[in-house]
Amino acid sequence: MKPTLLVLAAGMGSRYGGVKQIDPVGPSGEAIIDFSIYDAIQAGFDRVIFVVRQEIQEDVREFFRGKFDDRLRIDFVNQDLQDVPKGFEVPSERGKPWGTAQAVLAARKRIDAPFAVINGDDFYGRPALVAMADYLQACPADGTDYAMVGYRLDRTLSEHGTVSRGIVAATDEGWMTAIKEHPRLGWERQKGVDYPVASYNDDQAILARFTGEEPVSMNLFGFTPAAIDQLRTQFARFLEDRGDDPKAEFYIPYAVSRLIQASEARMKVLKADSEWFGVTYQEDRPAVVARLAALTQAKEYPKPLWQ
């Protein structure tokens, strides 16, 4: 069974300043996600589901209309703040949905095959999507051995501010043992520093330092349909614990960590010689434009991408 690509594109890009999922950064006006979908088709995916917010759905639909309809099936679903399990209420002061794991649950009625999850504003590279497609096609449909692609921490930072990354620990066989979210990771700009990457608190004091070689999650995960019921259970538990916090986020790494700790699932950390880049801040945009232009010039991608 060919896998499905689930694209998380519900974020409004508050730090970026617009709907960055459809920002035309490619040489022929393509968005970053155009390149990921192109790579996914080459890797063997046959369906894409966009998870969006209601207020941007028509813009996203129009941007992608007619580009790849003849190459794979396309669906759109909305991530809704009010989409919570029975018995729970949304705090009145909360103004946005609950995070990436809730975004996966937004597609629960459409999932009928193993699926990969990616962000709509990140470039993952074809080797990563090929590795994930190969893994998912070998998975039993009801299995609970999931996967993620790990990227080097120092290759995923921004030159223009701190970023949030989940740093991964794994066994020698490649099974994840823990993933810890660091919400403010950035470069430490001092001479003679042995650890170039630091984790900061709200006051910009350094909490921890890293070599930069640590594997991190960039939200390229692979699941079977069995994950949907597990995530629904974890969402209810999350709301019991943190639902009153208007800023709490139900992230995929949070849910996966809980499943691993309970021995209810395993997650393989896949290694792929793959490049990552993305646009967290507007200042990141020129570098992304230049890199996509270089990849196209090198004939990694056709120009225009969709012909």
Q: Could you tell me if residue 169 is inside a domain?
A: no
DSSP 194: S
Could you tell me the residue range of the domain that residue 288 belongs to?
A: 4-151+215-297
Q: Could you tell me if residue 146 is inside a domain?
A: yes
Alpha carbons 19 and 25: distance in angstroms, whole number = 12
Region 36-46: what's the mean pLDDT? 97
Q: Could you tell me if residue 12 is inside a domain?
A: yes
Q: Which of 7-11, 94-98, 247-251, 262-266 comes out lowest in average pLDDT? A: 7-11
Longest dimension (CA), the chain: 55
Instruction: Classify residue 263 as left (phi > 0), alpha (psi -120 to 50) or beta.
Output: left
Alpha carbons 139 and 174: distance in angstroms, whole number = 16
Q: Could you tell me if residue 25 is inside a domain?
A: yes
Residue 48 token pair? 């894409």
Q: Could you tell me if residue 306 is inside a domain?
A: no
- pLDDT bin (cut points 50, 70, 90) of residue 19 is low
Please say if the pLDDT value at position 56 is more than 90.
Answer: no
**How high is the pLDDT of residue 14?**
41
* Model confidence pLDDT, tens digit, residues 104-158: 999 999 999 999 999 998 999 999 999 999 999 998 989 999 999 999 998 888 8
Region 259-284: what's the mean pLDDT? 90
Burial class (CB in 10 A: 0-12, 13-18, 19+), 104: buried
**What does residue 226 show for φ and ψ, rounded to 5 degrees?**
-60, -25
For the question of whether the overall pTM of this predicted structure is more than 0.85, the answer is: yes
Q: Could you tell me if residue 204 is inside a domain?
A: no
The count of structural domains within the chain is: 1
In angstroms, how far is CA 188 from the centroid of its own chain?
A: 25
Tracing tokens 């969402």 back to the chain, one arrives at 235
HSE (side-chain half, CA atoms, 13 Å) at 202? 0
* Model confidence pLDDT, tens digit, residues 181-237: 888 899 987 767 767 788 888 888 898 899 999 999 999 999 999 999 999 999 999
Q: Could you tell me if residue 273 is inside a domain?
A: yes
Q: Could you tell me if residue 117 is inside a domain?
A: yes
**How high is the pLDDT of residue 36?**
96
Q: What is the CATH number of the domain that holds 291?
A: 3.90.550.10
Please say if the pLDDT value at position 16 is more than 50.
Answer: no
* Cα torsion angle, 77, 82, 86, 90, sign: positive
